[in-house]
Structure 1
């Protein structure tokens, strides 16, 4: 069976280029050159799978609240770097000469390759020369895959952290459970990064959560009971998982003015990340981080997901 795939270049309301990926089944993904951010991912029925705030404008240099922002070279705020750092606020370019990738990351898929290089402005706050490449793929089956490559073109080693800050769209946060993190150690950002061990057989939500699960499994599932669907996240080169929901009080604070009403109830962030032990690259070395997100019916047994 031949699967027709396509890409299209469009502009958003602010005149910023976006790349639209489509497959023959009707699924689509939209990637903005502002931040290299996936801002939309729809299944073959046209249902949006990623959360985006209705108040998010996405006008540069302000990042859109939602989708999948790229957090590099820092996840937490550190020194002169703001929280989640600068890659998500930069205008990327389409990479016309990307490095070769395995066939599984291109064959039969609609994809785009983007590139971000360090600028003079970046070097003032983070004095390291780098190349960050991102391939976003939409499979014939509608799966979404992101592959990032960071290369050190500096004269000395540097270290960085990284995250795909994935805002997943859910029916209601109280109907959601995350599986695959049982017995894992985590750093609780609401308790000065104190370390705890997950005690439950699944993670559920009754209050604000901001945790970094360290050395986590390569596969994590996010079950949405009401919609009877499950997001399955498979990751490589990303040992940590961030789980975050701001809950009511924080979502109505001034720092989150781009969330309205009870929108926090319809989102959960589950990120493939490398945070606890940053990556260190010597001159000329390269790191690769890969995240694949698929959606399956919730009747799908978690035993079959590779936990």
Structure 2
């Protein structure tokens, strides 16, 4: 059996970031980024496979999840995309990693894409579930197709104070329902859900989640300190590093998939469709790990062994 992951923390300017680390500290670095409503356990099968292939695998709890904590009470509990992407680069700094492969799904895919779009010099390669996962805030102001709006019921609920109260009171039941709806045909394991759901008890979980969905609907102001980054993201910057993009063929949140995002990727790019729902690292861990290993082969020794001084 592979050795268990090592739990640790790293301090950035804003956060005490809790993370799991697999493999040797001298391995090629890869960050695996989870989404909402998931946690680091989404990569329980992916991370050991990468560590066996020589990786230093870091799996952090995002802001508002698990043991990760804000350092100051007066820091805005922002869930906006520039905050999530900035957290990734701040963690690389805290860990002394110059460049890493980033891989994620849901909020984790968003975090990885934003970090890559804004700080490409820090990213050796990218694995992104759901293609070019940078939120177009202007487009979000307008309705999607009715069938997709139906699937996005939770985002509409979160625009209201009733929704905030509901998330606070019923977070486990609400999040479990999302797991079921987003992964049709996948046999949900109650023990796995309960292990992940412990991360939703973070004291900032509700505030971060509510702000994330209100900001992306242009219904809440962002952190003023991130305005310049959001302005750059509004310009839809290209992804300029080698990338594998993934879609789950049974994901109701991504009807039709994201193959049409190809023009957003200007370096080597491959798109794959996997027989899975939204929680792809849980449902198809071998496929997710293979995507990371493909990017690693593409970038070779430029994959991030160097450290910041």
- The TM-score with structure 1 as length reference comes to 0.29
- The TM-score with structure 2 as length reference comes to 0.29
More helix by share: 2
More strand by share: 1
